[in-house]
């Protein structure tokens, strides 16, 4: 069994794979991670190698060392000792987050190309793949909770609220007006941008939705063809299976 780990800004997502199947899945909040929580969450799972994708460099080292305390198997880190096998056409390829490359690659593996992956995480990201399976780039803009936080932090009278479903599109109190603006606004933005991107890469491009907020936002977006919450973790598992670089 291998352990796939996606270290994000809000949560660290874990999945234990046996072959292509997930047999255990859990998350730990990024700001609350500890070795004790990892041990408790893993329980008696017999873990072999691990593979890590991270956008929080300081936690990558910590978690890698902690895995060494739990088992004596190898730890692979994307961008360090294993690469995402996709042609990257970014002007400065090293600037692309490994999580975005994994999503693009996994999307091609499981759904084909051309492809648009929309990840509703701490930030909302678009990742675009050509019909020739090339990573073209994409977009990044504030995620749903970040947008709500910005409203409260940059205004005098708007409160700090948690993300949730708006009661209706026309908000009838402050909280629901904020939720309506952020949720319906983000969904409308995603729909419009997706149509623009399809003009570039082809109308037959599949649109895959993923990320921590996808289950909430999916009912407001019209363009999502397929929901795959485990896209990044599944991509890590495939990359592990096909790796050619040397481990730590």
156: Cβ–Cβ under 8 A, 6 or more apart, which residues? none
Q: CB 68: neighbour CB atoms within 10 A?
A: 14
Give the total residue count for the chain: 248
pTM above 0.75, yes or no: yes
Taking only the tens place, the pLDDT of each residue in 211-238 is 999 999 999 999 999 999 999 999 999 9
Tell me which residues are annotated as active site. Answer: 99
DSSP 8-class letter at 133: S
Backbone angles phi, psi at 225, to 5 degrees: -85, -35
pLDDT at site 68 = 87
What is the tally of helices (H) and strands (E) in the chain? 7, 11
Average pLDDT over residues 194-199: 97
Backbone angles phi, psi at 166, to 5 degrees: -70, 150
List, in sequence order, the alpha helices (H) in 23-82.
35-42, 57-70
How much is the mean pLDDT over the chain? Answer: 93
pLDDT at site 246 = 38
User: What is the side-by-side strand order in the sheet with 2-7?
Assistant: 21-29, 11-18, 2-7, 50-54, 75-77
Return d(Cα 14, Cα 21) in angstroms, integer.
13
User: Where are any strands of DSSP class E within 89-218?
Assistant: 115-120, 123-129, 134-142, 206-210
Q: CB 244: neighbour CB atoms within 10 A?
A: 7
Give the CB-side neighbour count of residue 7, counting CA atoms within 13 A. Answer: 22
Taking only the tens place, the pLDDT of each residue in 32-90 is 999 999 999 998 888 889 999 999 999 999 999 999 888 878 999 998 989 999 999 99
pLDDT at site 245 = 45
Domain 103-231, what architecture? 2-Layer Sandwich (3.30)
Taking only the tens place, the pLDDT of each residue in 90-131 is 999 999 999 999 999 999 999 999 999 999 999 999 999 999
Q: Specify the 3-state DSSP secondary structure of 55.
A: coil
Domain with CATH 3.30.420.40 in the chain: 2-81+236-242, 103-231
> What is the percent of the chain with per-residue pLDDT over 90, rounded to a whole number?
90
Q: The tokens 């729909």 sit on which residue?
A: 191
- The CATH code of domain 2-81+236-242 reads 3.30.420.40
Taking only the tens place, the pLDDT of each residue in 109-119 is 999 999 999 99
Is residue 146 within 8 A of residue 213, CB to CB? The reply is no
Q: CB 47: neighbour CB atoms within 10 A?
A: 16
């Amino acid at each position: 069994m291998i352990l796939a780990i996606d270290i994000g800004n809000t949560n660290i997502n874990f999945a234990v794979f046996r072959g292509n199947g997930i047999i255990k899945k859990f998350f730990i909040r990024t700001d609350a991670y500890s070795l004790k929580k990892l041990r408790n969450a893993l329980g008696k799972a017999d873990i072999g190698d691990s593979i890590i994708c991270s956008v929080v460099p300081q936690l990558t080292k910590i978690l890698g060392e902690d895995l060494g305390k739990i088992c004596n198997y190898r730890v692979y880190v994307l961008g360090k000792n294993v690469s995402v096998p996709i042609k990257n056409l970014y002007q400065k390829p090293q600037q692309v987050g490994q999580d975005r490359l994994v999503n693009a690659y996994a999307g091609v593996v499981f759904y084909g190309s051309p492809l648009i992956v929309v990840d509703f995480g701490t930030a909302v990201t678009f990742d675009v793949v050509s019909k020739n399976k090339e990573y073209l780039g994409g977009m990044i803009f504030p995620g749903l909770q970040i947008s709500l936080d910005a409203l409260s932090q940059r205004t005098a009278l708007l409160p700090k609220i948690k993300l949730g479903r708006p009661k209706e599109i026309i908000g009838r109190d402050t909280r629901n007006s904020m939720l309506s603006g952020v949720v319906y606004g983000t969904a409308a933005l995603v729909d419009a941008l997706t149509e623009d991107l399809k003009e570039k890469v082809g109308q037959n491009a599949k649109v895959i939705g993923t990320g921590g907020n996808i289950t909430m936002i999916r009912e407001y977006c019209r363009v999502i063809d397929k929901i795959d919450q485990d896209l990044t973790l599944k991509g890590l598992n495939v990359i592990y299976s096909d790796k050619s670089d040397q481990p730590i």
